[in-house]
Structure 1
Amino acid sequence: MAWREAYKTVPVLLVDDESKVLDAHRRTLRTRFDLHTALGGTEALEAMEAHGPFTVVISDFKMPDMDGIALLAKVAALYPDTVRMILTGYADMDTAIRAVNTGAIFRFLTKPSEPDDLVMAICAGIEHAEMVQSARELEIVRRLKDGFERTLHAFTRLVEFRDPYTSGHMDRTADIAVMIAERMDMDKDDIAGLRLAAMVHDIGKVAVPSHILNKLGELTDAEFSIIKAHAEVGAEIFKGLGVEWPIARIIREHHERLDGSGYPDGLNGDEILLQSKILCVADIIDAIITDRPYRHGLGKGEAVGYLLEGKGRLFDVEVVETALSLMEEGRIREPGD
């Protein structure tokens, strides 16, 4: 385990009942770590209360006031994330087993220990602590993401309750968008964000009056303007969400077109996020092949023709070709298939 410059700020505590041993450790280690020392177990506990927690604690085994195993067992109880090591000249197997079982010892080091060996052991302990912390943070993020996804599902149910004709539309669109993104070898984390955005891409329709959402006849220009606002409203709902994915942006852009004829911002070409381009095509496919308030589903043939007509002008070429391949393979199905 190589020493790194960043380790200079990592707090490490060395415990021994011999001051000369501690002086030697200070000379060899103080430039490599944020080194603290304690003369015996009682002083170590005081140091931990005053300056802790320490990332690594290394204790001598044989000490008069409190042996190293007893000390490290207390450290384990008080500071479970601290990496604990024992250093002793009494390196018999029974001691090693008791040290591991009682104090959950990370390393058992013999005394005297070469400075380089001690540095390597401390570095290994720091890396272990970093991995444990990273694993804990990943678990927290996973739980937050799971909770966030459940919240998004609740939002989709809210929209579909007001607009029964789109029941399942956002989930189906999310499935299609993910299939396209996976076939295009998009990064897995980007796909995760795309899926979440697709699940709520029509959330802005909560601001559209129900009689417009469910109107059987042709919409007036004024009514269509209200419908079009759903992309902006949806983006506003998720603005400043505090997640790493551009969910608000994808929602806002899912009706943009390559030639600038889309809404709400008239973006064109590379101004539109790739995830938004994928969601746009997925949204169109599901809208065409499923029933709407004013018509029955038109089938995959109609969807294919519409995408081919707009390929390269309205819709991204690669996204369209990927979607067409998935439809040809039967991966994207019509309701009832």
Structure 2
Amino acid sequence: MEKARELIVVADPDENVQSGFLRLFGGHFKVVCFSESDEALKFLKQNTATAIVFSCYNLPGRGGIAFLRACESVAPQAARVMLTRETSAEAVKRALNEGRAFMFLEKPCKPADLVSAVETAMAHHTQLSKDRALLERTLAGSVKLLIDMLALFHPDAFRRTGTVRKQALKLAGALGMKKTWELEMAVMLSPLGEALLPQQILARYRAARSLSEQERTVLERSPAQTRDLLKNIPQLEKVAEHLYLSARGFDGSGFPKDGPAGKEIPLVSRIVRLLTDLWYASPESGPDAAAFEALTINHRKYDPELLQVARSVLMDDVPQERQSKIAECYIRSLRPGDVLVDDALSESSHELVLSRGHLLTPTTIRRLIQFHQTAGVRQPIRVERHEVKEEDLVGTV
């Protein structure tokens, strides 16, 4: 398989500039050229991992300064370089301050200088990517801790995150998504809006029962509340927007009423919407033909291509890479790494304590023990237990 090459985007209407970039760097990098800003931005939105963006100062469309500034939000890890004949102090100042350019190069630029600039910009992109990866791992750990805590107080709302996350990653692989961090965060945080809703409203909505005007108003505000809670957290701004639009139907139905439709809805939002509804349509054992048939009845709400891919990859018979077995355990014999097959319920009232699909940790096992000591937990508990090699147990407690 051919190794993926770093992507360089050139936005300049000068054909000599475009041919020069292709000649100098086409053998080592993937170079894509555009003559105006809008098409370049549209491309960048679909290729957010772009390494370097070159732009001329007087770029047709929105202009080079505004174009580079827009690139910062759609491809934040790309090194942005201004390449222009404008050499005034004012032009340089605007490129660096307003366009947030990493580098300013004067036309005409010697090939050696351009090669040196690409090497420097590529090193800058590499460092940005490493910093972003570290930040994402740190933030993901914090979100996971937050979800575990919220699941203790709102188990009904957060019961699906473990199962849906696995489905989302499988679906992302089939779609060729290279970056899944935003998707994973969106799935994990997607029940946040439900946790804020009164249970009677949520139950009536999920059962497709009629809602009063007041109840519908409360329901309509839920996506905005989720977005407002998350948008002020650094690096979660896009996740907040994805969740805000995840209640939007592919046909333009749903919330928000003035939102986008069709492919204009972000892919992450479309996936979250599809998998959330699939969860509620599925039995305890997971998605089946009847669940997909239920979604097909309201097929206009879902991306048809996405629905087809989901049906294909989530109902295949390919065995898991790691074999597992189902074990019936009493609480004292649960192990970290076990995955709940069924909901853990209280012994008397059948209240949800911990949801199916939850990956057990020492913390959650202690939670089950404590709950059992006070209120009682129905036992035995069925778990999916992966085979663990003897050497993997060394150093564990």
Moved more, 168-177 or 209-218: 209-218
Distance 1:164 1:219 in 2: 25
1:204 to 193, 203, 225: 193
Other-structure match for 1:321: 308
Is 2:291 the counterpart of 1:303? yes
Greater radius of gyration (CA): 1
Distance 1:138 1:208 in 2: 38
How far is the alpha carbon of 1:175 from its aligned partner? 2.1
Which structure 2 residues correspond to residues 190-201 of structure 1 after superposition, within 5 A? 191-201=180-190
Distance 2:317 2:153 in 1: 31
Distance 2:295 2:305 in 1: 12
Which structure 2 residues correspond to residues 58-69 of structure 1 after superposition, within 5 A? none
How far is the alpha carbon of 1:282 from its aligned partner? 1.0
1:264 to 237, 256, 269: 256
How far is the alpha carbon of 1:129 from its aligned partner? 7.2
Structure 2 unmatched runs, 5+: 1-23, 25-53, 55-111, 321-339, 343-383, 385-397
How far is the alpha carbon of 1:240 from its aligned partner? 4.1
Q: Aligned in 2, Cα 1:260/1:133: closer, same or farther, shift over 3 Å?
A: closer
Other-structure match for 2:229: 237
Question: What is the count of residue pairs matched by the alignment?
Answer: 212
Other-structure match for 2:174: 183
> Letter of the aligned partner of 2:173 in structure 1?
E
Deviations 1:230-272 (A, max 9, x none): 3221111121444387211111111211222212335332332
> What do you get for the CA RMSD once the two structures are aligned?
4.1
Q: Aligned in 2, Cα 1:127/1:167: closer, same or farther, shift over 3 Å?
A: closer
2:270 to 259, 272, 277: 277
How far is the alpha carbon of 1:199 from its aligned partner? 1.2
Deviations 1:145-183 (A, max 9, x none): 111101221332243223223444123222212222221
> Letter of the aligned partner of 2:143 in structure 1?
L
Which structure 2 residues correspond to residues 92-171 of structure 1 after superposition, within 5 A? 135-171=126-162
> Letter of the aligned partner of 1:239 in structure 2?
K
What TM-score, normalized by structure 1, do the two folds share? 0.51
- 1:319 aligns to what SS in structure 2? helix
Contact 2:168 2:271 in 1 (8 A): yes
Distance 1:324 1:130 in 2: 42
Deviations 1:253-304 (A, max 9, x none): 112112222123353323321221111111111222256xxxxx89623311
How far is the alpha carbon of 1:141 from its aligned partner? 2.0
How far is the alpha carbon of 1:196 from its aligned partner? 1.4
Contact 1:159 1:205 in 2 (8 A): no
Distance 1:137 1:244 in 2: 17
- The sequence identity of aligned pairs, in percent, is 17
Contact 1:193 1:246 in 2 (8 A): yes
Deviations 1:16-43 (A, max 9, x none): xxxxxxxxxxxxxxxxxxxxxxxxxxxx
Deviations 1:190-234 (A, max 9, x none): x22111111111223343346766899978544565355332211
What TM-score, normalized by structure 2, do the two folds share? 0.44
Which structure 2 residues correspond to residues 322-337 of structure 1 after superposition, within 5 A? 322-330=309-317, 335=341
Contact 2:242 2:266 in 1 (8 A): yes
Distance 1:245 1:331 in 2: 36
> Letter of the aligned partner of 1:151 in structure 2?
S
Moved more, 313-322 or 146-155: 146-155
Distance 1:182 1:303 in 2: 22
Contact 2:230 2:237 in 1 (8 A): no
Contact 1:253 1:276 in 2 (8 A): yes
Distance 1:266 1:332 in 2: 43
Contact 2:279 2:287 in 1 (8 A): no
Bigger proportion of residues as helix: 1
Structure 1 unmatched runs, 5+: 7-119, 292-296
Distance 2:164 2:197 in 1: 20
Distance 2:307 2:142 in 1: 31
